[in-house]
Chains A and B, each alone.
Chain A
Amino acid sequence: MIWLSSRWKIAIMSAPALIVFTALIVYPVIYSAGYSLTDFAGFGDPAFVGLKNYIDLGNDPFFWSSLRNTIIILVVSLVILVPGSFGLALLLRRRFPGGGALRALVFAPTIIAPILVGLIWVFILDPKIGLLDRLFGALGLPQPEWIGGNILTPYSVALVFIWGSVGFAMTIFYAGLQQLPADILEASSLDGASGWKQLIYITVPLMKESFAIAAVLLITNVFKIFELVFVLTNGGPVHRSETLVSYMYFITFNNQQYGSGMALAVIITVLGAVVSLGYLLLLRGRKSA
């Protein structure tokens, strides 16, 4: 199509997206990285302070507790979500009446605005008005502080995250199961492999790719958790339940310590990029395999 590809036609087609992308995504990343090296507090000229903001974060106990909470959420969600949603995909792959409708319903929580997901779960986890402690009370069990206490909050956030992601992860596994070569499964069941054996020795190894993709997408999503914490506890009490992103939001927009907030934003971005890079390497491995 060389005759449609004059230089100015290419420019007209590409320029709008490239300009908007550069101005709204690339420039801000550079800008944030630059500001993370200053003491900017919203007024006056930012003064260059080198790596001070990063060093201060290293000495900030709330940074470490928000990192710890993020890691707790990450580990708990992965350990429960990956096998759980894979099992659910296996279950929903079987034929029974209404199966298609069930798959659609299971996905539903994924499309609800995260801010609304948080609000819904306040009415389940809140120690005063929540469903869960009411049930525990009725059964004569202790009524722990699911949110707002000192210990359980990150686990509760993980639970809410799992609820919001289970349909998403299930759909990835379901798509993977649909692409399994039917002849291998058939051959293995003719050879007498049945049930668990087939699952462990045939299906799971063939699904390696889906497992990796689901895991990586879930990890990147955990690094983005913000609204859930914002609504459930707003990071409290005294920042004990912050995640990296919610703490960054607090430093930047509540405390207006823009320099230090941007330093944390850079750290979050680098963590996310490391994971994404792992993802890309993984895909490359897949192509050469």
Chain B
Amino acid sequence: MSATTSTLGRRSRRRTGGIVAGIAAYLITFLILLPILWIVLLSFQSSEKILSNPLDLSSLSLLNYVHTITSLPLAQMYGNTILLAVVSVTIGTAISFMVSFALTRMIFRRRRLQSGLRFYLLAGLAVPVYILLFPVYRLDLALGVFGSYAALIIPYVGVSIPFNTLLLTGFLRDLPTEIEEAAIIDGAGLTRLIWSVVLPVMRPVIATVLIFNVVYVFNEFPFASILINNPDMTTVSLAVSQFQGQYSVDYGGMMAAATLVLLPQLVIYAIFQKQVIAGMTAGAVKG
């Protein structure tokens, strides 16, 4: 009898514990999201209200958005950023895949060279982009591409290689080679082997690489701030840095602009959540 009550007691204690933990989890998540909710709320308030009484829900309006959409070249900003992302991520992923395939599947005369080259590329993970800013700026000038999209595409491709190689060689090393060997025996050449055998099985890791790189290009600021000097070529993150100057006292407008940049990012994240998290924490899991 007493045994039953004690298990019952333990079970109900565990259940209350679970409820408390659940409430705590919701509360903490709410606190973490509060800053985002706050700027979304402000984006519906007039600037005077933001300074006097931002919590007054009766004065919310869409005026900031109307003003922002008409004054800010949003479509152009997104167009520029998407162009940069598509070109640099496609090139970066393609050449990283090629070198990763060579480093894990092809047979070098000198084995040492093969593992040495992989280490050479991975060492790039330790290089902070800040040391690259000035040399890349000079390199762009020397190549005569400064002021064009190529000025940014080139460093974005370069910076993506170490991380892509880490992920792709890691995946390829764990992937059994039997199917590939069978395909070769059936007479597949290199191109055929890559297109119809290797790439289809690599879809998940390539998705992770693509999405991680797209997020990087969308968020990238230091290179863009130095290598873009033409207002027509402004990227999304560069535009955000100008909001403070552009809307100096129009806080409502600034918040509407920030929300218009924020929401697409969150929507993309919601759709590709799994790959985004996998990409951003891959360094931790793969080592």
Contact = CB atoms under 8 A, between A and B. Distances in A.
B51 A91 contact: no
A107 interface: yes
21 contacts: A3-B184, A5-B106, A9-B190, A14-B98, A14-B103, A23-B139, A25-B132, A32-B135, A35-B135, A96-B21, A105-B33, A108-B266, A114-B219, A119-B254, A124-B38, A166-B32, A168-B281, A224-B128, A231-B241, A231-B244, A272-B126
Given A113-B237, A217-B283, A276-B126, A123 B255 contact: yes
Nearest to A173: B284
A67 interface: no
Contact of A111 (B138, B139, B241, B265): B265
B96 interface: yes
A207 B108 CA distance: 39
B157 interface: yes
Interface residues of B, number: 95
Secondary structure dominating the interface of B: helix
A97 B101 CA distance: 43
Nearest to B269: A111
A16 B281 contact: no
A25 B240 contact: no
Interface in B91-132: 95-96, 98-99, 101-103, 105-109, 117, 120-121, 124-132
B221 interface: yes
Contact of A21 (B35, B124, B184, B193): B124
Nearest to B219: A113
Given A13-B102, A107-B273, A171-B280, 11 more contacts: A23-B158, A29-B135, A96-B21, A106-B32, A115-B221, A120-B36, A123-B39, A124-B38, A226-B221, A252-B133, A268-B128
Given A129-B51, A171-B277, A2 B107 contact: yes
A10 B106 contact: yes
B261 interface: yes
A113 B265 contact: yes
A175 B165 CA distance: 22
A83 B94 CA distance: 40
B112 to A, nearest CB: 14
Instruction: Name the residue in A10, A27, A88 with the highest tally of chain B Cβ atoms < 10 Å from its Cβ.
Output: A10
Of all A-B residue pairs in the complex, the 4 with the closest CB atoms, nearest first, are: A24-B158, A28-B135, A96-B22, A17-B99
Given A113-B261, A272-B128, A230 B134 contact: no
Given A18-B117, A113-B240, A283 B131 contact: no
A39 B276 CA distance: 43
Size bracket, chain A contacts: 35 or more
A51 interface: no
Contacts of A168: 280-281
B162 interface: yes
Interface string A100-137: 00101111111111111001111110001101001000
